[in-house]
Amino acid sequence: MAAYFPNKAQGQYLQMLLHKLDKIKQGEVIMCVDFNCIQSPVLDTTANLTGNSRKKLISTRKSFTKLIDHYDFYDALRTLHPSDRDYFFHSRAHNTYTRIDTFFLDRHLLARLNRCTVGDMTWSDHGTVYLEIHDAYQFKGRSTWRLNDSLLLNGPFEQEIRDALQAYFTTNAGGEASDDIVWSAHKAVVRGLFLRKASYLKKHHQTNLLDCHKQIALVSKQNKKQPTPVLASQLQNLHTKLTELNAEKTKTLLFKLKANVYHNSGKASKHLANRLRAKYASTKIARITVADDNQYQTPADISWEFAKFYSELYNLKEAGNIHIAKHDEIDEYLRRTNLPQVSQVKIADLLKPIDLQELLQVIEGLPGGKLPGADGLTNAYYKIFAN
């Protein structure tokens, strides 16, 4: 909000302005104000004020401060520079400098206040006032790491992982550390190997892509000067190679998109909102007709009629012709009913410890492309290295 104060009675104007603003404001408020007067006779002017002028200014400052504090606003410049002397206005007639412009922020913006400075006075007698506030939006950080299953298709690298696991568990299993710690720590070890391999493949792919672009530019330049079938064939092969390289990147992006859709499909996110918006359009109830042939079209009336219908439908206490079973009757009914029961043999089988063969069968039956936990290791990892 911008406000230009009159040349007199600035205190009354400020009181009226803040009172009205308090009634209509929503969210966070920034006021850009030209007071047409100074607040501090020491910090806000180069003129030497004495006598009544100084006393009047001190009184005005007190009333300003009281009003600003009451409505929970803060002077941005004085918050960051409480004792600095800088000026926003130059009076050529008196050759004096004053600070009559400022920014006022509400309390919620103080934590995001970064900078408030004064620019040079160029074509105007007022200097530019700069205000910098941090963005309130939370930027999305790095997504949770997830194993790229394509890394497991590399035979030599798979063997490298297998050897690393064998060496790790041979060294650490059965030692002073508990089994839980050994198992959790092995995930950090293999994750480091996967990250190293993924980084190498990414750099290798980028190098190949850059070399392909350079070769295409070179061959195209030669073919433009003197076209030959050999150069045309080389160019065609390079274009095919470039398409294959881009296809690898596209495949990775599509996989990430699919994973992102699956991850956010059940969360309160933009993706779910878009899906619900389309579903809402197809299932929207525009109007209803009730038993007395009255039609209702407004959402409030429709909701009320549905609520009234179901409250009457399930209100058994007020329905005189329906018998409500008591607890004794329910217990007697359950005793007379032959409900299936688990045999003692089944109970003993369910309570016995899980053996290795059962565990391997479960791992073998895990669906592909999914994570059994939050560590980022996929089902494919556990299937390949189950032994």
Q: What integer is the mean pLDDT of 352-361?
A: 90
pLDDT tens for 27-62 read 888 988 888 777 777 788 887 777 777 777 777 778
Structural domain includes residue 172? yes
Q: Domain check: are 44 and 93 in the same one?
A: yes
Q: Is residue 87 domain-shared with residue 126, that is, in the same domain?
A: yes
Residue 166 confidence (pLDDT): 92
* C-alpha angle 101-103-105 in degrees, rounded to nearest 5: 155
44: CATH = 3.60.10.10
Which residues constitute the domain of residue 301?
285-337
Tens-digit pLDDT profile for residues 139-153 = 555 567 888 888 888
Buried b vs exposed e over 105-137: b needs ≥16 C-beta within 10 Å?
Answer: bbeebeeebeebebeeeeeeebbebebebeeee
What amino acid is encoded at 355 in this protein?
D
Structural domain count, the chain: 3
Together in a domain, 227 and 197:
yes
What secondary structure does DSSP assign to 186-214, as a single string?
HHHHHHHHHHHHHHHHHHHHHHHHHHHHH
d(CA 37, CA 55): 14
Distance CA 327, CA 269 (A): 45
User: Does residue 76 belong to any structural domain of this protein?
Assistant: yes
Of the residues 100, 133, 166, the one at which a domain ends:
133
241 and 312: one domain? no
Write the CB contacts of 84 (distance below 8 Å, at least 6 apart in sequence).
Answer: 43, 77
Percent of the chain whose predicted confidence (pLDDT) is above 90: 16
pLDDT of residue 191: 93
How far is the C-alpha of 332 from the C-alpha of 70, rounded, in Å? 70
Q: Are residues 200 and 244 in the same domain?
A: yes
Residues 153 and 270 in one domain: yes
Same domain, 93 and 165: no
In a domain, 376, yes or no: no
In a domain, 61, yes or no: yes
- Output the average pLDDT for the chain: 83
DSSP helix/strand/coil, 31: strand
DSSP-assigned states of every residue in 57-110: HHHHHHHHHHHHHHTTEEEHHHHH-TT----SEEETTTTEEE--EEEEEEGGGG
Domain membership flag for residue 360: no
Closest CA to 102 of 122, 79, 124: 79
Q: How confident is the model at residue 15 (pLDDT cuts 50, 70, 90)?
A: confident
pLDDT score, position 62: 80
Are residue 23 and residue 122 in the same domain, yes or no? yes
pLDDT at 190 > cutoff 90: yes
Tens digit of each residue's pLDDT (9 = 90 or more) over 276-321: 777 776 777 878 888 777 888 788 888 898 998 888 877 766 666 6
- 158 and 103 within one domain: no
Q: What is the pLDDT of residue 165?
A: 92
With respect to residue 364, please indicate whether it lies within any of the assigned structural domains.
Answer: no
pLDDT digits (tens, 9 = 90+) for 205-257: 999 989 998 998 888 888 877 778 888 888 889 988 988 988 888 888 887 78
Helix, coil or strand: residue 377:
coil
Q: Examine the domain organization and report whether 160 and 181 are in the same domain.
A: yes
Looking at residue 69, what is its pLDDT? 83
Give the global pTM: 0.48
DSSP state of 372: S
Q: What are 96's strand-pairing partners? A: 91
Does the residue 138 lie in any domain?
Answer: no
End of a domain among 322, 337, 352? 337
C-alpha to C-alpha distance for 159 and 162, rounded to whole angstroms: 5
pLDDT digits (tens, 9 = 90+) for 248-288: 888 888 877 877 777 776 777 777 777 777 777 677 787 88
Looking at the domain assignment, is residue 381 inside a domain? no
DSSP structure class, residue 48: -
Q: Same domain, yes or no, for 35 and 79?
A: yes
Residues 58 and 110 in one domain: yes
For 349, other C-beta atoms within 10 Å of its C-beta total 10
